[in-house]
Structure 1
């Protein structure tokens, strides 16, 4: 398992789509506060406002959409170039192969998802003279929650990636799915109470609760447990599908 993980980490480090996403998000995280600084001046915004109103809310789209592109090129593309066939014929079990790939893909998704809040807050702090910094405990809590939600979404993306086995189809489906599923689920919840329960305890809705300040213990527990359970369930589903998948 260790060798498989090392191999996947090496491939992630060499993946062009991974680094392209990092460069784009990193540039956005730096340029946006600089534009605010030059247009409106030092006192135009506090670091806390920049973190809450821009970094966190904007990052919701990064968490759900950016790793979709990585999923297509990091997982699905390996079917077309024959890498998956070579790995499965190496003697390693398919469960180990899948979970090593899922683990490393999750790491990539987490890295991508943390760039915007960390870099934008850091640049904003320097530009705006550390004016009203977000509380340190709150900052690290949100960073931790972003990490596990990025992992949860990555488990869904990995499942779709091995179903389609084509980078173009995978990216297209995932982008449409993550852009529309929450709205579809919300519309269904207005008509059927069962879907309301699913919506309220889904990562799609709870993702928007991450920026909340005053969370009760039960709310925080829900925010933590739901993405972990999502990761486990979709990870098991993905491994099951991968075991049954015909690899040509």
Structure 2
């Protein structure tokens, strides 16, 4: 298992899509605060307000969409290149192979998800001043939750990445799925009370509550922690079962 993790980590570090996405987000984190409040903008926000409204506000889309691109290139592309067949015939069990890929891909998704909250907070502090920074407890809580939800969404992306054998189809499907999933789920929840309860306690809904974690009760915070962990384990097990039964040509 250790050698599989090292191999997958090496492939992730050398993956061009991962490098491109990482540097693209780093550039956006450094330049966006400067561009947004340039051209004679009236007044500058405090870093804590900017972090809450401009960074965490739209960040759920980053967690759901950007790693979807990585999934297509990092996992699915191995089918078209014939790498997956070589890996499966290497003697390692499919459970270990999938587990290693899921763990490393989740790490990649987490890294991508953390770039804006960390880098943009730092760059905005340089531009706006260090006078009013986010409270450390709130900042660390939100980063911890981003890590959990980044991994949980990665476990869902990994399943579709092994179902498709073309990276373009994987990327296209995942982007469309995560962009349009909220609306039909909310419509279904409005008509089925039981499903509404399930949706309200799913990562699709709870990810939007990260921004207000400092106002939630301890029980609600516990739910926000437990749900993504269970989601990762559930979809990780489901993906492993699918991978073990998949015919690889």
Same structural fold, with TM-score higher than 0.5 when normalized by the shorter chain: yes
Equivalent in the alignment of 2:238:
237
For residues 47-126 of structure 1, the aligned pairs below 5 Å read 47-126=47-126
Equivalent in the alignment of 1:15:
15
What is the rounded CA distance, in whole Å, between the counterparts of 2:241 and 2:36 in structure 1?
49
1:145 aligns with 2:112: no
What is the rounded CA distance, in whole Å, between the counterparts of 2:130 and 2:232 in structure 1?
36
Structure 1 residue 131: Cα displacement: 3.1
| Contact 1:42 1:127 survives alignment (8 Å) | no
What is the rounded CA distance, in whole Å, between the counterparts of 1:81 and 1:42 in structure 2?
53
Aligned residue pairs total 248
1:166 aligns with 2:136: no
Structure 1 residue 58: Cα displacement: 2.2
Structure 1 residue 235: Cα displacement: 0.2
Equivalent in the alignment of 2:157:
157
Structure 1 unaligned blocks of 5 or more: none
Alignment deviations for residues 36-81 of structure 1 (CA, whole Å, 9 cap, x no partner): 4433469421101110111112221110000000000000000110
The structure 1 segments of at least 4 consecutive aligned residues displaced by more than 6 Å after TM superposition are none
| Contact 1:43 1:128 survives alignment (8 Å) | no
| Contact 1:42 1:128 survives alignment (8 Å) | no
Alignment deviations for residues 81-123 of structure 1 (CA, whole Å, 9 cap, x no partner): 0111101111000000000000000000000000001111101
